[in-house]
Amino acid sequence: MVDQDGGSEPGWKGRTLGSLTPRWPGSRALLRGLADLILPPVAHDSREATAAAGLSPDAWSRVAFLEAPVCDGCGAAFEYDGGAFAADRCAACISQPYAFGRARAACVYNEHSRGLILKFKHGDQQQFAPLFARWIARSAAELVETADAVAPTPLHRLRLLSRRFNQAAEIARPLARDARLDYLPDALLRVAPTDSQGGKSARGRRLNVKSAFAVSESGRRAIKGRRILLIDDVLTTGATAEACTRVLLDAGARAVDLAVIARVRTARELTR
């Protein structure tokens, strides 16, 4: 079985800091801060130096981050804050809830965020992983706080061999580490190869991933009775996340929530 938690070796800077870090709390962050002062990390989307590894100011300003209030069920932004007595879910989630309990997205999937995500996903630019993990940690703070463990959406072994890394796993690992949650990289398995979801209707997407996922034997023991935070890159129709959620619940998970980098603005308006 191919390990979902793959990826390239860390750069020289990470290895040096790791080897020099003394055994006391906060020392790694202190040393990294000192290193950043000497060698400022550059923005991932340009050669412009920034205070911490991230985006250039121009790219940052173009990303449509999702701020509260948002729908608790799908993460869509509400047009206005209805106050204490307003429903916490949109009409679509009330009438036809997803299989997962709650969802959050850091930003809207549009022409500005798409380029960043595709560079990460298909351009082998894994430096985006910790940045996206920080975005999700902020947008999904409520979900992270109540989670027992974090699991990435898996790739089929053939897709993983061609891509060399699972983008969801690269985000989930630092997210779980920083939140001090159990990280379950191989709890979920993609047991059947599937076509790309791109260009398919909502129904086509559901059929494409039907029976594509399973829970490993070790995963069954790790998820039983626990609330799992599922990590993926983009929420479009929710077909992949729902397929993963159902097998996790069938295997004994108490509940499943979803956190993604971005969501399509019209995700719940698409024909289901």
The percent of residues above 70 in pLDDT, for the chain, comes to 67
For position 9, what pLDDT does the model report?
38
- Return d(Cα 257, Cα 99) in angstroms, integer: 9
Asked if 148 and 222 touch (Cβ cutoff 8 Å), the reply is no
pLDDT band at 221 (very low <50, low <70, confident <90, very high): very high
Instruction: Say if residue 242's pLDDT is above 60.
Output: yes
* Contact of 144 with 229, CB cutoff 8 Å: yes
Confidence of residue 224 (pLDDT cuts 50, 70, 90): very high
Backbone angles phi and psi of 103, in degrees to 5: -145, 145
State the span(s) of the chain assigned CATH 3.40.50.2020.
Answer: 51-263
Question: Which structure tokens are listed for 88?
Answer: 């916490």
Report the C-alpha gap between 156 and 208 in whole angstroms.
13
Contact (CB, 8 A) for 185 and 228: no
Q: With bands split at pLDDT 50, 70 and 90, how would you rate the model's confidence at 157? A: confident
Q: Report residue 182 CA to chain centroid gap.
A: 15
120 pLDDT higher than 80 = yes
Q: Decide if pLDDT at 13 tops 50.
A: no
CATH of 51-263, one of 3.20.20.70, 3.10.129.10, 3.40.50.150, 3.40.50.2020: 3.40.50.2020
List, in order, residues 6 or more apart from 244 with CB less than 8 Å away.
153, 188, 213, 230, 256
Q: Name every residue whose Cβ is closer than 8 Å to that of residue 149 and which is 6 or more positions away in sequence.
A: 176, 181, 182, 183, 184, 187, 222, 223, 226, 227, 228, 229
* Pairing between β-strand 182-183 and β-strand 188-190 as defined by DSSP bridges: unpaired
Q: What digits encode the pLDDT tens for the residues 164-214?
A: 779 999 999 999 999 999 999 999 998 876 656 555 556 666 656 677 899
pTM of the predicted model as reported, rounded to 2 decimal places: 0.78
Locate all alpha helices (DSSP H) within 73-200, ordered by sequence. Answer: 91-95, 111-122, 128-139, 141-146, 157-163, 167-179
Q: Using CA atoms, how far apart are residues 116 and 132, in angstroms rounded to an integer?
A: 10
Please compute the mean of the pLDDT values over residues 74-100 and round it to a whole number.
85
Mean pLDDT on 116-139: 87
3-state secondary structure of 38: helix
pLDDT at site 55: 78
Mean predicted lDDT score pLDDT of the chain: 80
